[in-house]
Structure 1
Amino acid sequence: MAQIYISLGSNIEREYYVKAGLLSLAQAFELPFEALTLSSLFESESVGFTGDAFYNMVIGITCPHSIEQVVTMLRDIETSHGRDHTAKKFSPRGLDLDLLLYDDLIINQPAQLPRDEITKNAFVLWPLSQVAPNLVHPILKKSYQDLWQDYNKRSQQLSIVESCW
């Protein structure tokens, strides 16, 4: 069984897509909703483009699937919720699912792991530090709690919002 962490983001119909994304993850991984480890739900300004604010969170899942299967499952969930994978990288989206960690793998294909944005974006690092505070980044050799503690919190503003599920 692998321990994986997934970031979920939405800035179009945010409440709808957060709920739909969480339910789709539970269904795809054949888990009861309660088996998902959920961070708080955060609101953040869009990064890399001008657009509506995002809702973001991180989900932890223990699963028997290979990394290739997980990457395919996440892409299929996005597609089933209208995600256009030909759209430019920094653009509005209903549902964005990114694999952040798969155990302690360090790879570039079929996904970059650990995902580079973990240490660059508060909307990924803060929720990850909530669900896996003592887990150690496989390259930096620091816990996510310590990485969040050291993060320049003035660089990106986040606020916790009330859960919509």
Structure 2
Amino acid sequence: MSDTVYVGLGSNEGDREAHLVDALTALSRIDAVAVLRCSSLFDSAPVGPPQPRYLNAVVALECGLPPQRLLGILQQIEKDQGRRREERWGPRPIDLDILFWEGQVVADPNLQVPHLELHKRRFALEPLAELAPHLVHPVLGATVKDLLGKLAPQDVRRSEAHCWPEASYPSNDS
């Protein structure tokens, strides 16, 4: 049995877009996982200490793995791409977060799904809204589009892609 899972990708060190493409390639090579769709890229101000701007995207996956197993694989991809977990919210070449898992709420010490901060973060909601505007947050009971509409403005803007498989989804601003 497979579920649709939405994973957020972010990078703010080195060639940000290349890091996202490398992570997407690694995701596409996971057994029991298929990449369904990719959002556009978004450039955003960092959360946390002063550091370079982030490049963010969201991918929709068809996943036949349990959540903890996928988390372990995502953390290994981060490690393989040079991620160091030394500073909370510090700069990183790649950050991979499970944002939503279709039909599941996961609450354990290592994994919270939906992501606990998702409803506060335009850099995650903007690309997620491209892929799944009507997806309902199982805890808050609101759609992604509604959550996005309730957020105060934040420094997030669509970014031109050079090698990322650019999404061809209509804007959900209406």
Fold in common (TM above 0.5): yes
Q: Are 2:29 and 1:23 equivalent residues in the alignment?
A: no
- Alpha-carbon contact 1:100-1:113 (below 8 Å) kept: yes
1:39 paired residue number: 39
TM-score, with normalisation over the residues of structure 2? Answer: 0.86
- 1:92/1:6 Cα in 2 relative to 1: closer, same or farther (>3 Å)? same
- Alpha-carbon contact 1:134-1:143 (below 8 Å) kept: yes
Number of aligned residues: 160
Distance in 2, matches of 1:49 and 1:124, equals 19
Counterparts of residues 14-93 of structure 1 (less than 5 Å): 14-29=16-31, 35-85=35-85, 87-93=86-92
Deviation at 1:95, TM superposition (A): 0.6
Match of 2:157 among 133, 137, 159: 159
Distance in 1, matches of 2:123 and 2:37, equals 17
| SS of aligned partner of 1:52 | coil
Distance in 1, matches of 2:71 and 2:19, equals 19
Q: Are 2:103 and 1:104 equivalent residues in the alignment?
A: yes
- Letter of the aligned partner of 1:27 in structure 2? R
**Greater helix share, structure number:** 1
2:8 paired residue number: 7
Answer with 23-32 or 60-69: which moved more: 23-32
Deviation at 1:31, TM superposition (A): 5.8
Distance in 2, matches of 1:161 and 1:100, equals 21
Distance in 2, matches of 1:29 and 1:126, equals 28
- Letter of the aligned partner of 2:158 in structure 1? I
Deviation at 1:27, TM superposition (A): 1.2
- Alpha-carbon contact 1:132-1:144 (below 8 Å) kept: yes
Deviation at 1:152, TM superposition (A): 1.3
Q: Deviations over 1:19-71 (max 9, x none)?
A: 11111111125667xx4311110000111110111001111101111111111
- Alpha-carbon contact 2:32-2:65 (below 8 Å) kept: no
- Letter of the aligned partner of 1:40 in structure 2? S
Q: What root-mean-square deviation, in Å, do the aligned CA atoms of Structure 1 and Structure 2 show?
A: 1.5
Unaligned runs of 5+ in 1: none
**Greater strand share, structure number:** 2
- 1:27/1:120 Cα in 2 relative to 1: closer, same or farther (>3 Å)? same
Distance in 2, matches of 1:141 and 1:160, equals 27
